[in-house]
Amino acid sequence: MTKPRNSAQPWRVLWLIPVAVLAALSIVATSGGSGGGDNSDDGGGGGDLPLNILPTYNFFMTNLPGDTPLTVSVGSSFAVSVDFDGLFPGSVNLDADANNIVTFLSYIVRSGARVDLTLTSTDPSPLDGTFAVIVTEDINAMVDDAPVSGAFNVVTAIETVSVSILGDGIQLTLNGGAPVVYNNWEEFTDLFDDESQETWQRRAALAAGAFGFVIEQFFSMADILDELEAVTFTSPVVEVCDMFTGTPPEGVLAQGEITITWLGSGELSNDDDFSWQFNQCWSDDSSELIDGTVSLENYTETIDTNNNTLFEIGFGGLSGEPGGVVYEMTISDTVENQGVFTIPPEGVMTINGGFALIIQAP
């Protein structure tokens, strides 16, 4: 009878270490990239060819390194801080014209995305405290519109509110109980300001509002990305804002301006910083007055030189690298009465902290 031989010797087990390492590296190295790791940061990999921008990109938001969560204070009433739990993932569909000016069309916040919100009121409120907002089904929406589908949970230590975005309304359930349905997104989010409503519903409305705010900030920052290279040619770039259509609030300029300053030199390259300053900039469309600075730190851009396609762009990094979008600004509602604009105290929103933002090819 032939007995199979075995030559296994104890020292041979050591060979498994480099074999395992080789296996892991060979799997990871199949990831797309810029062939050989020669990352270009200026889109020059394709010579004079225009940069290709894909119709869909993933995006990720995460906390800034250190303890500087995105925090929004509303008047002297309350403050909400947003703590991204790891990476906040999503994707965007976009249209890039012949000059690579990008228009964002729609977005998805992916299931599993989570933020922890902490509400702190000046006067004690039943809403105070920290709660988690966890996306349980992909949330789909057109840019600047209310979500059309998806679901998320609002979780405290003692209750879970499930919010489902349905075709004909918004359905809320508390701990799996009887559903409560609202006709549309606005009706649902307005619950937060209605103190006669139940706390769990107001908390869910706050969660929805915070989600909307985070997405709005994402697109505000993403929208400027395609302008940054042009800024480096004529930095600083100054744009005038809308002029007040009446008497501006006391101490406010009749017409403010926005200044974008590139803080780098030579060519636009990774780790460059930009300063986006709003000097009493009023918008006729939104009736909002913006004042302050958004620092765009540690710009990152990677081109896939194999096909001259934008692979990654953003500020900061996903693994705790320095940089990101850092706010130090106020957004104030303005109210017009007989041609005179004023700013109600409860209409002043102060934004501090920020997030890192990376948009990446799928």
Partner 1 sequence: MLVPTRQRGPEIKMLFLATLLLATGIMVYALDRAGAVYFLPDWTATPTGTAIFGPLGDHLPTFLHPLVFILITAAVFRPWLRLLPAICAAWFAVECLFELGQMAPFDSRIAEAVPSWFDSVPVLRITADYFTRGTYDPLDILSIGLGTVIAYPIVRAFLRGE
The residue ranges that bind partner 1 (CB under 8 A) are 2, 4-8, 12-13, 15-16, 19-20, 22-38, 58, 60, 62, 86-87, 89, 110-113, 304-307, 317-321, 360-362
Nearer to partner 1, 29 or 158 (CB): 29
Q: How far is the CB of 55 from partner 1 (least distance, A)?
A: 16
Nearer to partner 1, 85 or 257 (CB): 85
Element (H, E) at 78: strand 78-84
Number of C-beta neighbours around residue 106 at 10 A: 15
Tokens of 113: 């995305």
Element (H, E) at 16: helix 16-28
Q: How far is the CB of 316 from partner 1 (least distance, A)?
A: 11
> CA angle 214-317-221, nearest 5°?
40
Q: How far is the CB of 136 from partner 1 (least distance, A)?
A: 11
Nearer to partner 1, 291 or 297 (CB): 297
Q: How far is the CB of 8 from partner 1 (least distance, A)?
A: 5
Q: Coil, strand, or helix at residue 210?
A: helix
> CA angle 216-323-61, nearest 5°?
35
Q: How far is the CB of 149 from partner 1 (least distance, A)?
A: 16
Report DSSP letters for 132-185, one per residue.
EEEEEEEEEEETTS-EEEEEEEEE-SS-EEEEEEETTEEEEEETT-S-EEESSH
Q: How far is the CB of 50 from partner 1 (least distance, A)?
A: 14
- CB under 8 Å to 9, separation ≥6 — which residues? none
Give buried/exposed letters for 35-44 (b at 16+ CB in 10 A, else e). eeeebbbebe
Q: How far is the CB of 340 from partner 1 (least distance, A)?
A: 49
Q: How far is the CB of 113 from partner 1 (least distance, A)?
A: 8
Quick one: residue 292, left, alpha or beta (phi over 0 = left, psi -120 to 50 = alpha)?
A: left
Nearer to partner 1, 11 or 233 (CB): 11
119, 128 Cβ separation under 8 angstroms: yes
> CA angle 123-198-131, nearest 5°?
65
Tokens of 251: 């101490």
Phi, psi values for residue 332, rounded to 5°: -115, 135
Nearer to partner 1, 91 or 232 (CB): 91
Q: How far is the CB of 91 from partner 1 (least distance, A)?
A: 10
Nearer to partner 1, 93 or 360 (CB): 360
CA dihedral (202, 208, 210, 216) in degrees, to 10, reads -150
Minimal CA–CA distance to 228: which of 314, 162, 305? 314
Nearer to partner 1, 281 or 303 (CB): 303
